[in-house]
Structure 1
Amino acid sequence: MKWFRQLYRIWLLLCFAIPFLLLLPLFIIIIFYQPGRRFIKQLNNLWARCFFVGGFIPYKVIYEAKPLSKKSYVYCANHTSVLDIIAMGLVVRGPYSFMGKAELGKIPLFGFMFSRLHIPVNRVSKTQSYQALQKALDTVDKGFSILMYPEGTRSKKAPKLQRFKDGAFKIAIEKQVPIVPVTMPYNWKILGNDSLPNWHKGKAIVHKPIETQGLTMDDLAMLKQQTFTVIDNELKKYYEPQLATERRSSNAS
């Protein structure tokens, strides 16, 4: 069936690229027309819907509590697939900016849009990472939410979570905005690290916001652990036998 997966991969690339190219003029308009940036959410949502419908992938989003579309949040999702970026277009409510690795800016056309509408992070340079953090804080002040993958990179042992970095939680505490944990249990099954896709239904669970009012940087470790636990516990509902086997193997070695 490898040939079929190869064909499906090409089809998914077309489902990604064609809607993006059709929407690109609108992305360009809002790049140069500042008030239009509040429509990023709508464009990304339409792009995501086109992708999943075209790819014959039913994608269900479950909200434990719906975030308010006119309120800023820091969305924190597990990261197991390149699919995560487009899937979050179905999840986030209200205008938002995505913080992602600076390498995304090198992708033709997509990189042009990403580097101007979102927040590239150079993970090698401490200075540029700090500048990206400051830009995120300014973005929250403008009424936008921030979308981050606190693991910092895709998990190589999906669905197992990697250790969270501090950035998302610094932003949430500094601006006193809630954290919204998001669990996407199946994206890695659809398109994992081997780059050849498999058909599988998609799903995202948007958990209740974690309030940060009154928290200080002394509470950062607690907030980070609380967010990690919410996502980790949700993943265990789907993969507890697999994760338990991995833990036993790790302990044995």
Structure 2
Amino acid sequence: MRLIRNFLLAIYNIHAAIWFIAIMFLILPGIFLVSLFGKIRGGNMVFYFLRFWAHTWFPLVGIWFKRIRYEQEDKEPVIYVANHLSYLDAAIAVKVMRLPFRPLGKIEMVKIPAFGFIYRQSVVLVDRKDARARAQSVRTMKATLKEGVSMLVFPEGTTNYTGQPLRNFHDGAFRMAIEMETDIRPVLYVDSNHRLRAKGLLSLTPGINRVVWLPKVSVKGLTLQDLPALKKQVYDMMDAELRKYHNYPSLQPA
């Protein structure tokens, strides 16, 4: 039975990969054209091409979504902070967000043929190895927020395969929220590591993906002295909510 299951899973992943690439090449000419309109206007149009891709690909591979909202959708720009469980998370974000946004993305991804071009047009690139490049990324994110476009940041900084709900958060998203006086909206991708394992590019499986929007966290009146408390507040909110959906092993005392 296990051999049959692995064979069917391989066929399914080949099917998913073919459609992934086919839709990507279908939208590539359009993305190239709209990219000529600049980073903001053109980037917003790129979002809708990617949204078409996501709305087409996920049903074709048997992945469906349940959206759980604690509050109404955001009409003003916010900083979305999301947990990061697998490579599928970026595609999920495009699927479930209804308004254009920009994620913060690793610069290494631009090296992938064809996909790298699309990636460059749709994210704010960051080179974590270069301090000057990181500073430029922060300036770009702030300029994007000023233009009324929301940002998406994975505050864990990397994919979480610890077996716990979250890794420790970095300061960047919270510092930017305070400096830009932009509220934070925590978002949880509950099942993405069950659909695609953190270390398994060929481990995609069909099924449900639950996405939870937690209440917005106001930064009104906060200063950088409040950054640790703000970060802890958001972390605790996300950690507590994730524990409602899955059981996690207890941490062993040091």
Q: Give the structure-2-normalised TM-score.
A: 0.91
Mapped partners of 2:131, 2:162: distance in 1: 27
Q: Distance in 2 between matches of 1:246 and 1:7?
A: 36
Q: Which moved more, 1:20-29 or 1:82-91?
A: 20-29
Structure 2 residue 84 is the aligned partner of structure 1 residue 79: yes
Q: How many correspondences in the alignment?
A: 246
Is the contact between residue 15 and residue 50 of structure 1 (CA under 8 Å) also seen in structure 2? no
The structural deviation recorded for 1:217 is: 1.0
Q: Say yes or no: does 1:140 pair with 2:145.
A: yes
Partner residue in 2 for 1:220: 227
Whole-angstrom distance in 2 between the partners of 1:113 and 1:90: 16
Are the aligned partners of 1:183 and 1:204 in contact in 2 as well (CA < 8 Å)? yes
Unaligned runs of 5+ in 1: none
Kindly report which structure 2 residues correspond to 1:1-12, keeping only aligned pairs within 5 A, or say none: 1-12=5-16
Question: Which runs of 5 or more structure 2 residues have no equivalent in the other structure?
Answer: none
- Structure 2 match to 1:13: 17
Q: Which residue of 1 aligns with 2:215?
A: 208
Q: Secondary structure at the match of 1:66?
A: coil
Please say if 1:234 is aligned against 2:241: yes
1:1-253 equivalences under 5 Å are: 1-34=5-38, 35-69=41-75, 71-158=76-163, 160-192=165-197, 193-195=199-201, 196-240=203-247, 243=248, 245-247=249-251, 250-251=252-253
The SS at the match of 2:68 is strand
Q: Post-superposition shift, 1:39?
A: 2.6
Check the 8 A contact 1:159/1:239 in 2, yes or no: no
Q: CA RMSD in A?
A: 1.6
Tell me how far 1:42 sits from its aligned partner.
2.3
Percent of pairs identical after alignment?
28
Q: Aligned with 1:59: secondary structure?
A: strand
Determine if contact 1:80/1:159 at 8 Å carries over to the other structure. Answer: no
Give SS of 2:66's match: strand
Describe the shift of the 1:208–1:114 C-alpha distance in structure 2 as closer, same or farther (beyond 3 A).
same
- The 2-side partners of 1:36 and 1:184 are apart by 27
Q: Deviation of residue 158 (structure 1)?
A: 4.2
Q: Structure 1 runs of 4+ off > 6 angstroms? A: none
